[in-house]
Amino acid sequence: MGATALLAAGGCAVGGTGTRDEGPARPESAAQVSPAPSTTRSASMPVMGQQQVVRLLLSDGSVSAETKKDLKPCGGHDYPVDVSSGDLTGTGAPDLLVNVMTCGDGVGVATYVYRKEKPGYVNVFRAEDPPVYGEIDRGALVVTRQLYQKGDPVSYPSSEEVVTYGWHGDEFTESYRTRNDYSKTVGGDNPDGEDDGGEDSTPVPVSPGG
């Protein structure tokens, strides 16, 4: 899918995501695949405010209609987006990492990376397979998904898949992935013991040129 240059940067900063250095632990609930939108960690402060990021997403033809439906204020003035910035694509200019979440429980529903290109930003990565959440780890893009087997309650997925992407040429390519199987001692065993493997919904790297 072709990418389109979008909204120019500017405005105030908002709280963002941070560096992922530790291995993932089993979440107490599926909502913990992402922090609350107001959570601030140690990443670089984003170069856009929430409202500007929402306008960027709404004007982006590669963002799904389902995701755009979630881009409404959560009760007050805060939108369900978590934004951080960092050099993911080697331009020297800050790239934007945007996670879209649900308002009620903060579950990640989509992850996007926007690369700075005059006069604005270009979408170079999207993952729209919830629950999903992206983070910046030492210049790499790390995307985490929770996976479910048949019979798993929403609060207790069977495993977690962590995929690390690096920027090569004009697109993100997968560097490696790990899968962490959770213990069934919490939340109960799968009642029929079957592993249907879950839906294969790998995040899609998007090349600016195609």
Q: What is the pLDDT of residue 46?
A: 60
Percentage of residues of the chain with pLDDT beyond 90: 46
- The reply to whether the predicted model has a pTM over 0.95 is no
- Burial class (CB within 10 angstroms; exposed 0-12, middle 13-18, buried 19+) of 163: buried
- Burial class (CB within 10 angstroms; exposed 0-12, middle 13-18, buried 19+) of 19: middle
pLDDT digits (tens, 9 = 90+) for 157-210: 888 999 999 999 999 999 999 998 886 544 444 444 444 444 444 555 665 544
Rg (CA), the chain: 17
- Burial class (CB within 10 angstroms; exposed 0-12, middle 13-18, buried 19+) of 188: exposed
Q: What is the pLDDT of residue 44?
A: 56
Domain positions in the chain: 30-199
Cα dihedral 130, 18, 24, 107 sign: negative
| CA-angle at 198, arms to 19 and 32, nearest 5° | 35
**Element of type H or E holding 56:** helix 50-58
pLDDT digits (tens, 9 = 90+) for 26-46: 334 443 454 434 333 334 556
Map tokens 């670089």 to a residue: 44
Map tokens 């881009």 to a residue: 71
